[in-house]
Amino acid sequence: MNNPHLILAVLFQLTQLLLVVLAAPMLTGWVNQCQAWLQNRSGAGLLQPYRVLNKLFHKDAVIADNASWLFRITPYIVFACMWLAAAIIPILAVDLPFSQAADVIALVGVFALARMFIALAAMDIGTSFGSMGARREMLVSFLAEPALLMVFFTASMISHSTQLPGIVEALAHHQFVLYPSLAFAGLAFVIVLLAENARIPVDNPSTHLELTMIHEAMILEYSARHLALIEWASSLKLFAYISIGIALFLPYGIAEMGNWAGLPAAIVLLVGKLALAGAALALLETVSAKMRIFRAPEFLGTAFLLAVLGLLIHFLLGA
Amino acid sequence: MQIPLALQFVNLLASMLLLIVFAMLAQRRILSLINLFAWQGALLALSTFVVAYTTAQHHLYYSAALTLLLKVIVLPWLLHRLIRKLNIRWDVETLLNIPTTMLAGIALVIFSFNLAAPISQMSQGITRGLIGIALASVLLSLLMMLTRRKAVTQVVAFLSLENGLFFAATSATQGMPLVVELGIALDVLVATFIFGIFFFQIRETFDSLDITHMEKLKDD
């Protein structure tokens, strides 16, 4: 790789990083807006998450007396993990320099790292809500993670690569083929996405009802800039997950590295896909009811089953 | 290895068939079970139609139409009428709990895919991978018959088993003679009628459709 090429690649990478971190709250706002429309409310608008972040950044942080350094450092680690994840995923263009650093298995590891820290920080203060939320989060995630890995393995088997750019390249630039195994993996991925991002059948992101919340219970003790970072990280996580979904199942139209001319088209297409995915997510959340926490293992077991079936069908049919 | 789009579509339908059998295995409500059975029939009809179109075998069109008529409209309607008359809408009781059944189901799928692999090696057709899926759905339906307690669900499982066999016949070996298919269709229809009569008899004798009551011998 010669020098100008490298600079160009880094520029592309930085563009993607900046765009993702700025656009992530907008996606959350869009999902909330769609939900509001579906519930016959007028909604708070696309920019509401930015206003919330702005408000939180201008407040003074209140931290419990017995909080350790772990509690303080966790928001930064979580935010960094999610941003790193967004850097690995080919969102705007394939073959970015950073994506060579980690494959899909490492990506799952990055998500796991953030989750571990947030669970530890929730238990750090020693309130009952925090540890309850941490326990529930771990219950959900240890069931969701194998399913997510199986989804990635199915895509890797098809494209003979565990690198996300390799997978996207293999799926996007070949002749159109119907992959039944990918359809199964896609269904499993939707379930994992709902569970991991604390969306409705598993968790309710807008509730503060103590018996039902998972994610919110863990971050109850956070305030001001810490809370802002965690909220932003949640938006980034949702953005990252939806981008993984797009990369695996709808990769058509992604820009080539160094192709500045193709970038506007890629961005327009990406915005369209994200808007569609966000609306679909809102619709899914509106039509489904929150399930009991003890039904969640069965729900996630279904995801694992679907992903394994996809893998088996790939072996049988070769597609 | 590039296979034609129509065959890819049949593959997709086959995978969805397998998915529906799994959904039936996990289903707790009898009404949804019957609806899933109707969907299974619809998929079967569609896949038969696609196979008929690609292989230009005209008798398969009749068979697809027959499947549509019988398994999507008549049989579900009969079953709906039956459960309305018997007044059974409550949840299905299973012998094993659902997650265990699902794990057993995955084991069965692996087993049948392995079992079908040498058979598919011998056949020349490009749809040979479908034998494994058909076998898996037959075995899963058998599993459903084993794990369910109520007679109605066992009958739905039996019908789903027949669907699996039918799928193997049409997709993997490109269909049976029309006379045989007509005979089977008639058999299934008659069987459902007879099962219906049986249900009433069972309920009259035991006051329940739970077949575990049949294991007890009467002393009087």
Q: Which residues contact B119 (CB under 8 A, 6 or more apart)?
A: B128, B131
Q: What is the pLDDT of residue A263?
A: 76
User: Average pLDDT, stretch A284-313?
Assistant: 85
Which one is predicted more confidently, A276 or B175? Answer: A276
Residue B195 tokens, joined: 């099962």
Q: Amino acid identity, residue B19?
A: L
Residue A137 tokens, joined: 């989060």
Q: How is chain A classified by DSSP, letter by letter?
A: --HHHHHHHHHHHHHHHHHHHHHHHHHHHHHHHHHHHHTT-----TTHHHHHHHHHHTSPP---TT--HHHHHHHHHHHHHHHHHHHHS-SSBSS-GGGGG--HHHHHHHHHHHHHHHHHHHHHS--HHHHHHHHHHHHHHHHHHHHHHHHHHHHHHHHT-SSHHHHHHHHHSSPP---HHHHHHHHHHHHHHHHHTT-TTT--TT---TTT-SHHHHTTT--HHHHHHHHHHHHHHHHHHHHHHHHHH--TTPBPTT-GGGHHHHHHHHHHHHHHHHHHHHHHHHHSPPPPGGGHHHHHHHHHHHHHHHHHHHHHH--
User: Average pLDDT, stretch A120-125?
Assistant: 87
Cβ contact, residue pair A180, B11, below 8 Å? yes
Residue A285 tokens, joined: 């959340």
Q: What is the pLDDT of residue B1?
A: 47
* Interface with chain A: mutation pick from B11, B12, B15, B18, highest number of A CBs within 10 Å: B15
A218 to chain B, minimum CA–CA distance in Å? 29
Q: Are A170 and A160 in contact (CB under 8 A)?
A: yes
Q: Are A21 and A83 in contact (CB under 8 A)?
A: yes
ipTM: 0.76
Q: Are A92 and A263 in contact (CB under 8 A)?
A: yes
Q: What is the pLDDT of residue B38?
A: 92
Domain limits, chain B: 5-219
Q: What does the mean pLDDT of chain B come to?
A: 80
Q: How is B150-183 classified by DSSP, letter by letter?
A: BHHHHHHHHHHHHHHHHHIIIIIH----HHHHHH
Q: Amino acid identity, residue A184?
A: F
Angle at B155 between CA B149 and CA B158, to 5 degrees: 110
10 Å CB burial of residue B135 (0-12, 13-18, 19+) is buried
Residue A44 tokens, joined: 């708070």
Task: Average the pLDDT over each of A4-13, A19-28, A63-72, A181-190 and give the range with the smallest value.
Answer: A4-13
Q: Is the pLDDT of residue A1 over 70?
A: no
Q: Which residues of A touch B22 (CB under 8 A)?
A: 305, 309
In this complex, which of A305, A309, A316 lies closest to B129 when CB atoms are compared? A316
Q: Which residues of A touch B8 (CB under 8 A)?
A: 177-178, 319
Strand partners, A93: A255
Max mean pLDDT among A264-268, B113-117, B140-144, B177-181 falls in B140-144
Phi/psi for A278 (5° steps) reads -65, -45
Strand partners, B148: B94
Closest CA to A229 of A38, A74, A40: A74
Q: Which residues of B touch A317 (CB under 8 A)?
A: 11, 14-15, 129
Radius of gyration of chain A from Cα atoms?
A: 19
Cβ contact, residue pair B99, A309, below 8 Å? no
| Chain centre distance of CA B116 | 19
B196 to chain A, minimum CA–CA distance in Å? 33
pLDDT band (50, 70, 90) for residue A158 = confident
Task: Average the pLDDT over each of A220-234, A257-271, B127-141 and give the range with the smallest value.
Answer: A257-271
Residue of B nearest to A308 (CA): B106
The torsion of the CA quartet A44, A46, A47, A48, rounded to 10 degrees, works out to 30
User: Average pLDDT, stretch B96-123?
Assistant: 82
Share of chain B above pLDDT 70, in %: 88
Phi/psi for B91 (5° steps) reads -65, 150
A42 to chain B, minimum CA–CA distance in Å? 36
User: Average pLDDT, stretch A3-30?
Assistant: 83
Q: What is the pLDDT of residue B173?
A: 67
Judged by a CB distance cut-off of 8 A, whether residue B107 touches chain A is no
Find residues 181-200 of chain A whose CB sits inside 8 Å of chain B: 181, 183-184
Residue of A nearest to B14 (CA): A180
Cβ contact, residue pair A305, B5, below 8 Å? no
Max mean pLDDT among A227-241, A244-258, B85-99 falls in A227-241
What are the C-alpha distances in Å from B190 to residues A37, A99, B166, B178? 51, 62, 17, 18
Q: What is the pTM of this model?
A: 0.84
Q: Is the pLDDT of residue B211 over 80?
A: no
Which one is predicted more confidently, A227 or B85? Answer: A227
Q: Is the pLDDT of residue A76 over 90?
A: yes
Q: Is the pLDDT of residue B5 over 80?
A: no
In this complex, which of B1, B12, B19 lies closest to A318 when CB atoms are compared? B1
Cβ contact, residue pair B15, A184, below 8 Å? yes
Judged by a CB distance cut-off of 8 A, whether residue A301 touches chain B is yes
A308 to chain B, minimum CA–CA distance in Å? 8
Q: Which residues of A touch B134 (CB under 8 A)?
A: none
User: Average pLDDT, stretch A17-34?
Assistant: 89
Q: What is the pLDDT of residue A319?
A: 57
Share of chain B above pLDDT 90, in %: 6
Find residues 6-25 of chain B whose CB sits inside 8 Å of chain A: 8-9, 11-12, 14-16, 18-19, 22
A28 to chain B, minimum CA–CA distance in Å? 32
Over residues B6-41, the pLDDT tens digits come to: 777 888 888 888 889 988 888 878 888 889 999 999
Task: Average the pLDDT over each of A36-40, A176-180, A186-190, B43-47 and give the range with the smallest value.
Answer: A176-180
Q: What is the pLDDT of residue A181?
A: 84
pLDDT band (50, 70, 90) for residue A148 = very high
Q: Is the pLDDT of residue A159 over 90?
A: no
In this complex, which of B99, B109, B132 lies closest to A309 when CB atoms are compared? B109
Over residues B145-168, the pLDDT tens digits come to: 888 877 778 888 888 988 888 888
Q: How far apart are CA A310 and CA A295, in angstroms?
A: 23
Q: Other CB atoms closer than 10 Å to residue A66's CB: what's the count?
A: 9
